[in-house]
Amino acid sequence: MENKAKVVVITGASSGIGQATAEAFARQGTKLVIAARNAAALQAVAKTCRELGADVLVVPTDVTDADQVKALAEAASNFGAIDVWVSNVGVGAVGKFQDTPIEAHEHVIRANLIGHMNDAYAVLPIFLKQDRGIFINMISLGGFAAAPYATAYSASKFGLKGFSEALRGELSDHPNIHICDIYPAFIDTPGISHGANYTGRELSAPPPVYDARKVADAVLRVARHPKATTTVGATADLIRFGHFFAPSLSARFMNWFMTTYFKQADATPVTDGNLYAPSSRPGGIDGGLRSGKQRLALGAVAATAAIAIGLIALANTYGRNSRRGRWR
């Protein structure tokens, strides 16, 4: 099937990776169904995508509400046979576990895990009926390694990884239905500035911080050639490797890094961000995280920690292999 005939559904399409993905598909002449809570932001994205050559259907949707997601799937089916569903919604709440309201933890889980399950629950019957379809889960490097100060986010991403793996197993007898996961590294989007922050300190991301359009390109590749696991950015691979061989060490390093950063970060008011309602701040693709001296300082610390974890992991692997050789 030609790209111009495809129908692609994208949730969380009002900014960041979702918007970048919508625009990337629009350039291919795709028929787009875009969803998010922020109707006004969706209309702005739709206008851009139409100018790029796409037919666009806007369906404001809160993915934590299963009925709304079911209605989204029905609307998309009326637009045409669904070829690809990009499950992209993600929210965050940063803060020490005990200092973050339990309601915030619960909402992160509802959006980042239950929301994606709602997506799959709505579209899989359609895929099974038509005996084809590609479901793309946007996870993150947080699915490989937990992040202190973001416990619910970590739980949701680990859970989402397990959900995808289980779903792939269940659908293994359906070779034309694909469950694909994308694991981006740190991405420059408005997500950090829009998220909940209970630390009382300004939030940032350590370099290298990648362009969201790089993730969108990966989604397009997976839509053309389905693949179970795709990482975006070398940092994701390094953290994945380090955590596999030294999970406790990875967690300690991350805690040290986060604690050190917050001690020197500027003060800022505590906020619920966009957890419970769409952000009133402008969306867009970019978050302004790819510049500034502070990014360089953060990057030096983060790179040192990541390299240290990788080297220790290599040493542990070498040590285990050496011991096995002696025992033979």
Catalytic residues: 153
- CA-to-CA distance for 95 and 49, rounded, in angstroms? 36
Closest CA to 180 of 154, 129, 215: 215
- Output phi, psi for 230, to 5 deg: -135, 125
Quick one: residue 208, left, alpha or beta (phi over 0 = left, psi -120 to 50 = alpha)?
beta
Q: How far is CA 197 from CA 172, 188, 299, in A?
A: 40, 17, 21
Cβ pair 126, 231 in contact under 8 A: no
Max CA pair span of the chain: 67
Q: How far is CA 112 from CA 71, 81, 99, 139, 223, in A?
A: 19, 26, 20, 9, 21
- CA-to-CA distance for 145 and 251, rounded, in angstroms? 8
- CA-to-CA distance for 108 and 196, rounded, in angstroms? 10
The amino acid at 143? G
